[in-house]
Amino acid sequence: MSDLVIIHGDQLVTTTAAVAEGTGVQHKNVLELLRTYVGDLTEFGRVAFETLPFETAGGTQTREVALLNEDQATLLITYMRNNVVVRKFKIALVRSFADMRKRLAAPQIPDFMNPAAAARAWADELEAKQLAVVKVEQLEHQVAELAPAAAGLERIANADGAMCVTDAAKTLQMQPHKLRDALLEMAWMYRRQGRGGYVAYQDKIHSGYLKHKVGNYKDPETGENKTNPQVLVTSKGLAQLSKLLGASAPTPGPGRSPSRLS
């Protein structure tokens, strides 16, 4: 990766192709990751695309690559899953930008016969390496703080069991009556006619979002033993609700009325 960092116009950049090669990730996957977080990357400038040649066994071909400045490239690789190869590449990339800046600045070659100059050159190199490591760690920490939603959804989706609507509302940090209204409007459940209680729509049960728990109780007036089905929200349903209710207000399902029996 001798050309990991190149000069493009008046700035230093790397390419998504270089990132793919250095991390062992397919280039198309790097581009997909970039497009997912392009809004974040544009905080550090416009992301430019170019068609560049590359060599294959069948000859020279071309492909579209993205050109990334130092901040964009450093942020992009913090979104990658850490492994030994990726972590080493993160440090190599930051160091390559630092080394290129030094070369462009045309620093004077230190006089290694002078102990003070040699010590200063060694100290500068060590400081640059330490700053590179610290910068990567700081950006990784920022990404960890900015990505709780995906981690939260994964924890919910992997959780066992199911819970009543009231407990589900607490988990989703909403008021219980608002969650009930949302489940009715989105046609996840409906109110039973003629008596109290709610019933889940069959398609939401089949999807694994909801299920029923049948409870037995004795009617205080008649003394009869009766059953009362209760709607429970599964872990899969919690994950889906977190996505739907976090993205936009719920809308009624097509052709469904919350009060209509399925």
Per-residue model confidence (pLDDT) at position 261: 38
Residue 129 lies in a domain: no
pLDDT on residue 88: 93
Report yes or no on 117 lying in a domain.
no
For residue 134, the model assigns a pLDDT of 82
What Rg, from alpha-carbon coordinates, does the chain have? 29
For residue 256, the model assigns a pLDDT of 45
pLDDT of residue 60: 86
Residue 53: inside a domain, yes or no? yes
* Beta partners for residue 60, in sequence order: 55
222-229 CB contacts, 8 Å cutoff, 24+ apart: 228/197, 229/197, 229/199
Q: Would you state the pLDDT for residue 236? A: 87
Last residue of a domain, one of 97, 120, 146: 146
CB contact set of 251 (below 8 Å; sequence gap of 6+): 185, 186
pLDDT at 162: 85
Q: Is 215 within a domain?
A: yes
- Maximum distance among all Cα pairs of the chain, rounded to whole angstroms: 104
Question: What CA–CA distance (Å, rounded) separates 248 from 223?
Answer: 46
- Give the integer Cα–Cα distance in Å for 52 and 98: 25
Whether 92 and 27 map to the same domain: the answer is yes
Would you say the C-alpha torsion 38, 41, 44, 47 has a positive or negative sign?
negative
Query: What is the pLDDT, as a whole number, of residue 111?
Result: 62
Is residue 80 domain-shared with residue 170, that is, in the same domain? no
- Res 260: pLDDT: 41
Residue 262 domain-assigned (yes or no):
no
Same-domain status, 48 and 176: no
142 and 186 co-located in one domain: no
Domain membership of residue 167 as a residue range: 160-247
If asked whether residues 33 and 142 sit together in one domain, one would say yes
pLDDT per residue, tens digit, the chain (262 aa), is 557 999 988 899 999 999 999 999 999 999 999 999 999 999 999 999 999 888 777 788 888 999 999 999 999 999 998 899 999 999 999 999 999 988 888 655 666 677 776 777 777 777 878 888 888 888 777 767 766 655 554 455 445 578 888 888 888 888 888 888 889 888 888 887 655 578 888 888 888 888 877 666 566 667 776 666 788 899 888 888 887 887 443 444 444 444 443 3
Is the same domain home to 221 and 175? yes
- Count how many domains the chain has: 2
The answer as to whether 66 is a domain residue is yes
Q: Based on the fold, state whether residues 173 and 95 are members of the same structural domain.
A: no
179 and 59 in a common domain? no
pLDDT for residue 39: 94
Q: Are residues 88 and 187 in the same domain?
A: no
Q: Are residues 227 and 172 in the same domain?
A: yes
Q: Could you write out the three-class secondary structure of 187-199?
A: CCEEECCCCCCEE
Classify residue 261: in a domain, yes or no: no
Note whether 141 and 182 are same-domain residues.
no
**Which one of 146, 171, 200 terminates a domain?**
146
**Cα 70 versus chain centre, distance:** 21
| Residue 119 forms part of a structural domain | no
pTM for the structure as a whole: 0.41
User: Residue 250's pLDDT is what?
Assistant: 41
Question: Are 140 and 165 members of one domain?
Answer: no
